[in-house]
Amino acid sequence: MSQPPVAARKPHRATYHGKTIEDPYYWLQDPGYPDVTDTEILAHLEAENTYFASQMEAHQPLIDRIYEELKGRQQLDEASVPYKMGDYLYQWRFRDDAQYRIWSRAPVAEPEAMQVVLDEPALAAEHDYFRLGGFSVSPDGQYLAWSSDTNGSERFTIQVKNLVTGEVMDDTLEQSMGAPVWCQDNATFFYVIVNDNWRPFLIKAHRLGEPIDRDRVVYEERDDSFFVGLGETQSEQYILISTGDYVTTETHIVPAADPGATPRVISPRRTGHEYDVDHREGRFYIRTNDTHKNFRLVTAPEDRPEPANWVPVIDGSDTHYLRGLMCLRDWVIVEERVNGLDQIRIMADDGGEHYVNFPEPAYYAGLGMNAEYDVKTLRLSYESMVTPHTVYDYDLTARQLTIRKVQEIPSGYDASQYVTERLMAPARDGAQVPVSVVYKKDVVKSGQTTLYLYGYGAYGHAISPSFSTNRLSLLDRGFVFAIAHIRGGDDLGYHWYENGKLDKRTNTFNDFVDVAQHLIDQQFTSPGRIAISGSSAGGKLMGAVVIKPLSYGVRSLLMYPLSMCSTPCSMRTCPSRRSNGRNGATRSKTRRRLNGFSRIRPTIK
């Protein structure tokens, strides 16, 4: 099959937000999606698959070789570093080539005496579909509550296991999601309920052994644009009920020792105000954007946590973006991003503070599994574009990192053969755009190398300069791989996100093009030697970039670029919750202006 199939164009008009849209490919959307039964649609998809297969047939030996490379880098019996919680050490592991984890624990005094507490492969064997939503162990270690989805509906069922007897109890709760949170009585837990539209909106309390219909409503969210979440403070003294949309949050607290108490709000919701909460030694610590978009840190007494009693701990800053918070008994841990790089600040009771030192110029670093409150060691996750995922334990007093595990690559890997750089590319409006680059050290910057450039730039989601075993197949063939940390993500702070959304969306697309030009100027590649890719919102980025009047050719891979289309993202059934609701007409106008699909012509290859 030498020519690709061409989809028929059929007249279709629809009006959204007062604007009529012509969509000649509307017929390709089966009204029964995700069940596609329309014979004409299926015939077109089959023709596309046949064409793809015919074009790839000559490359099958290379495909098979790369597949074996990818598979050879995967550790089949991978296991986590055990972590302490109460009187036990907990760990997950894969056995052989299994697709699901086995969760085990051992007494702290007998670390080799691991016993299985949750066997995902055994649970999955009973169903055509299985997904673990989360699990939680009671404070005394006797009970395990877990949630699972066994039909793909994304509605999870909670079950409870007695870890002493091994018995799975009769307590079964439907229509939930995530992990339950236990109260200090070891008999009551809070859990989330979702409605028919998959919106988590209700928090209930269940007591072991009691009928489900007697479960008490703890909190109900009546604003259908807000989604409810459930957690607890690191001290385990308070249960946190969070609710919010994409720009506003609100947190309610319930003492874990008093599950019948009425939830108390920390700060009533106010449009645009986001905050989160932790607790230590009689005080709440609150990360809030009330005075600065990059957030500040404040504290308040646990009996008077309202904003009037907030005392500053870290002021808001244009360069320090506060991203996360965790309280230990003697320390406050703050996750930050400074000039686009992850940092972890350690604050001691005596007022002293320091940052954890990391060894590379570009990397990802964050908090790992830290299950306890009264500790002197912090577990961290670390990786870079040349360093495989690494688990560290950090001694908070001695300020020393100890490696607990480095990702194993069975087929072999030598980090010294690769180089990573962090560049700043000038954008056309004067902004400096970070770029993370990796390549094999024998690559010569002569402009003759093929560049693979990746971008996302949306929803305030930063793309970390992290490690990828799959990427090695490109690097070992002489490619340069680069990530453009363009506006729309929050790589350089919240303003970086704001300057790439809505009426400033074109900054995202221009940044990506300008990064490509900078890499050409720096002799990493040349026109005609650039491949670009992005998924989801990054797929929209690709669609916008390929229609720009570039001075060089690119090969583009669009992965799930739904948000390129004006029609589906204007419909109420659009899977993106950001598409409609408040300011829907304005957003629809912006999407039409930036719609890539309607502007691609057959002459563009």
Per-position DSSP letters for 154-179, written without gaps between them = S-EEEEEEETTT-PEEEEEEEEEEEE
- The dihedrals phi and psi of 577, each to the nearest 5 degrees, come to -70, -10
Using DSSP bridges, classify how beta strands 238-244 and 227-232 pair: parallel, antiparallel or unpaired.
Answer: antiparallel
CA atoms within a 13 Å half-sphere pointing along the CA-CB vector of 539:
11
Dist. CA 520–CA 550, nearest whole Å: 13
DSSP state of 352: -
Check residue 96 and give its pLDDT.
Answer: 80
Angle, alpha carbons 408-410-413 (nearest 5°): 75
Look up tokens 């026109």; give the residue: 527
Look up tokens 């990802």; give the residue: 364
Check residue 582 and give its pLDDT.
Answer: 47
- Which value, to the nearest 10 degrees, does the dihedral of the CA atoms of residues 532, 538, 541, 546 take? 30
Coil, strand or helix: which one is 269?
coil
Nearest to 232 by CA among 187, 189, 296: 189
What are all long-range contacts of 392-401, with beta carbons under 8 Å and residues at least 24 apart?
392/368, 394/356, 396/328, 396/330, 396/331, 396/346, 399/354, 399/356, 401/356
Q: What share of the chain is helix, strand, coil (3-state, %, to 5)?
A: 20, 35, 45
Check residue 35 and give its pLDDT.
Answer: 82
Check residue 532 and give its pLDDT.
Answer: 92
Check residue 554 and give its pLDDT.
Answer: 61
User: Other C-beta atoms within 10 Å of 415: how many?
Assistant: 13
370 phi-psi bin (left φ>0, alpha ψ -120 to 50, beta other): beta
Dist. CA 242–CA 227, nearest whole Å: 8
597's tokens: 């699909």
Check residue 15 and give its pLDDT.
Answer: 87
Q: Mark 150-181 as b/e (b = at least 16 C-beta within 10 Å).
A: beeeebbbbbbbebeeeeeeebebebbbbbbb
- The dihedrals phi and psi of 579, each to the nearest 5 degrees, come to -80, -30
Dist. CA 207–CA 212, nearest whole Å: 9
208's tokens: 């072991």
Alpha helix (H) residue ranges in 23-153? 39-56, 60-72, 120-124
Dist. CA 255–CA 282, nearest whole Å: 12
Look up tokens 């052994």; give the residue: 209
**Structural domains of the chain, ranges and CATH numbers in brackets:** 1-72 (no CATH), 419-599 (3.40.50.1820)
User: Other C-beta atoms within 10 Å of 43: how many?
Assistant: 11
Check residue 368 and give its pLDDT.
Answer: 97
Angle, alpha carbons 149-154-157 (nearest 5°): 40
pLDDT tens by residue, 507-525:
999 999 999 999 999 999 9
Average pLDDT per consecutive 10 residues, the chain (605 residues; last block may be shorter): 89 86 90 87 95 94 96 94 97 90 97 96 95 96 97 93 96 95 98 94 97 97 96 98 96 97 98 97 98 98 97 96 97 95 95 93 94 97 97 97 97 96 96 97 95 94 95 97 97 95 93 95 94 86 74 57 50 45 53 54 48
Sheet holding 418-426, edge to edge: 418-426, 432-440, 480-484, 451-455, 530-535, 554-559
Contact 10, 26 (CB under 8 A): yes
Cα distances (Å, whole numbers) of residue 549 to 149, 553, 600: 47, 10, 12
Coil, strand or helix: which one is 26?
helix
Check residue 530 and give its pLDDT.
Answer: 93
User: Other C-beta atoms within 10 Å of 133: how many?
Assistant: 19
Mean pLDDT rounded to a whole number for the chain: 91
